[in-house]
Amino acid sequence: MQEFDIVILGAGSAGYQAAIRAAQLGAKVCLIERDFIGGTCLNKGCIPTKALREYAQVLYTVKKADTFGIRISDFCVDFSKYRERKNRIVRRLRQGIDYLLKNHEIELITGEAFIKSPNIVEVNLSREISLIKAKRIIIATGSKPNKSVFGEKNAEIISSDEVLDLSVIPKRMLIIGGGVIGCEFAGIFRELGSQVTIVEMMSQILPGKDEELARSLTNIFSRKGVNIYTDSKVERVESNSSCLICKLDSGREFQVDKVVVAVGRNLNTENIGLEKLGVLTRERKILVNENMRTNIPDLYAAGDVTGGPYLAHLASLEGIVAAENACGKERVFNYNAIPECIYTHPEIAAIGLTYSQAKKENKNVKTAKAMFVANGRALTLDEREGFIKIISDENEGKILGVHIIGAQASELINVISLAMNRGLKMLDLVNSVYTHPSLSESIKEAAEKVLIQ
């Protein structure tokens, strides 16, 4: 029986980061993965979707070239090139992770893992069963798409994983779910020429996000020709010889070529031994404390299995915190300032509280916006859509939340993440010097507006 200090189930964002950190701290580490290293983010999520998004973004830039005085008389769209490029990027990043694991002398085992006891892991290696002894175990098995099927199994009803491997751009696409994943795919495929329809059960797309951001994206999508039905549910999808017929609970009916199900994810916490061990869970989420410990000694969990939000950068940090505590350190995870991004066009990013959340917490709130239409850099980019909104505590000048829709929002939010994590206040944002012209100048403008209220 092999023996390790730390055994980690799952080589996704949480798992491989935990493995590397534990090895850096001197632990003998084993990492078990049933599929490809890198997990959902690298293989079926963040990286492939951004490769697809950039494919659509280049097409958008080509179409608007005349705005800059560049006339392109003819071009064609070769969708197969996207898949080739996506696969090439994924392979390269996998190789990078593999190099890091080998460089840190981490044992990587491919197989199905089952926790027999708090210190014994059974690995199914297809033809044989191997037992591994561990001083401590970290569960980082991630999640998978929740693919609902209407009636019989239909190849034209696909998950958010499967949409990344399409070989043809659908003429008509229905996206069930107007959350982050659904909105990203809606923007991408509309830009690629698909007629896109979003059906969302809640009263707005991007449920739970800042209401003003959601309204702004709704307006942008509508202008681009995306059909949006909120407060609606797809009751059934039926096939005929040429298409899918979709019927809503309102009685509305329309025809599409593909249905993409983007209504959440299922956690990979089944059949790994949790019930037998007595690990506390709630709705399949593994319950952990601020150190990422479960209720079972020597057993930790990190990433999607702890219940989200499902963010790769969040999972990575949780994995690192779990590894440090498993190696005898005491580190607490702070969830107060975790940024998130939505890669629509324009991009969306947010951190901290929304205005509604801040008011519910009985805070004295001040808020202000800076519009990108007044930003010199945004105008030179011809990306004048959107704004930066800052929410502040009136008494202390504390940054409570920032919400951005506009060009490079995914980069701009990192400035705010640093500020919030370092405890900086509104006056610090105002007194900082920003390059000119830059999109980040709008951060200062919004902060100034808050302070002069």
Is residue 345 annotated as part of the catalytic site, yes or no? no
Are 83 and 178 part of one and the same domain? no
Q: Is residue 125 part of a domain?
A: yes
Task: Provide the pLDDT for residue 15.
Answer: 98
| CATH assignment of the domain containing 346 | 3.30.390.30
Residue 297 pLDDT grade (very low, low, confident, very high; cuts 50, 70, 90): very high
Are 192 and 203 part of one and the same domain? yes
Task: Tell me which of 453 and 340 has the higher pLDDT.
Answer: 340
Q: pTM of this prediction?
A: 0.94
Are 238 and 279 part of one and the same domain? no
Average pLDDT, the chain: 95
Query: Which of these is catalytic: 104, 313, 403, 436?
Result: 436
Q: One-letter amino acid identity for 339? A: P
Q: Is residue 303 part of a domain?
A: yes
Question: Distance (Å, rounded) from C-alpha 230 to C-alpha 211?
Answer: 14
What confidence tens digit (pLDDT) does each residue in 42-66 have? 999 999 999 999 999 999 999 999 9
- 359 is written with which tokens? 């008011």
Residue 245 pLDDT grade (very low, low, confident, very high; cuts 50, 70, 90): very high
Which uninterrupted H or E stretch holds 248? strand 244-248
Q: Is residue 371 part of a domain?
A: yes
Task: Provide the pLDDT for residue 141.
Answer: 97
What confidence tens digit (pLDDT) does each residue in 415-431 have? 999 999 999 999 999 99
Task: Provide the pLDDT for residue 71.
Answer: 93
What confidence tens digit (pLDDT) does each residue in 63-111 have? 999 999 999 988 999 999 999 999 999 999 999 999 999 999 999 999 9
Mean pLDDT score, 211-222: 97
Question: Distance (Å, rounded) from C-alpha 18 to C-alpha 416?
Answer: 26
Task: Provide the pLDDT for residue 128.
Answer: 87
Mean pLDDT score, 12-22: 98
First to last CA, the chain: 68
Task: Provide the pLDDT for residue 117.
Answer: 93
What confidence tens digit (pLDDT) does each residue in 142-198 have? 999 887 655 557 889 999 999 999 999 999 999 999 999 999 999 999 999 999 999
Beta bridge mates, 259? 157, 174
Mean pLDDT score, 304-328: 96
What percentage of the chain reaches a pLDDT higher than 70? 98
Question: Distance (Å, rounded) from C-alpha 43 to C-alpha 47?
Answer: 7
Contacts of 354 (CB under 8 A, 6+ apart): 209, 210, 211, 391, 401, 403
| CATH assignment of the domain containing 163 | 3.50.50.60
Number of domains in the chain: 3
What confidence tens digit (pLDDT) does each residue in 337-384 have? 999 999 999 999 999 999 999 999 878 999 999 999 999 999 999 999
Owning domain of residue 371:
340-451
Task: Provide the pLDDT for residue 152.
Answer: 56
For residue 295, how far is the Cα from the chain centroid?
28
CA distances (Å), origin 76, targets 15, 55, 85: 41, 13, 17
Question: Distance (Å, rounded) from C-alpha 64 to C-alpha 73?
Answer: 12
Are 169 and 203 part of one and the same domain? yes
Q: Is residue 83 part of a domain?
A: yes
